[in-house]
Amino acid sequence: MSMADISKEEVNRFYQNLKQQAESAGYHLNPDESFTKELLESILINKDRMDTGLVPAV
């Protein structure tokens, strides 16, 4: 799977879901939305490759 296989809509849905969950628990996502979505895209790719949403090493 390449990064092109993850749609922007899928990343946006994931972002909105996590943002809602974080804020309902009193947390906030990184305010740099572009950076955050890049990380979330990598997590979605890892989830598809390895069946787990591992955080990419930076």
Residue 43 domain boundaries: 3-50
Cα radius of gyration (the chain): 11
Q: Is residue 23 part of a domain?
A: yes
pLDDT at 5: 86
Q: Is residue 28 part of a domain?
A: yes
Q: Give residue 51's pLDDT band: very low, low, confident or very high (50, 70, 90).
A: confident
Angle at 20 between CA 4 and CA 39, to 5 degrees: 30
Q: Is residue 56 part of a domain?
A: no
**Predicted model pTM:** 0.80
pLDDT at 56: 59
41 has a pLDDT exceeding 50: yes
Q: Distance of CA 19 to CAs 1, 5, 54, Å?
A: 25, 23, 18
Count of structural domains within the chain: 1
Q: Distance of CA 12 to CAs 7, 38, 40, 41, Å?
A: 9, 11, 9, 9
pLDDT at 54: 67
Q: What is the rounded average pLDDT of the residues 26-45?
A: 95
pLDDT at 50: 80
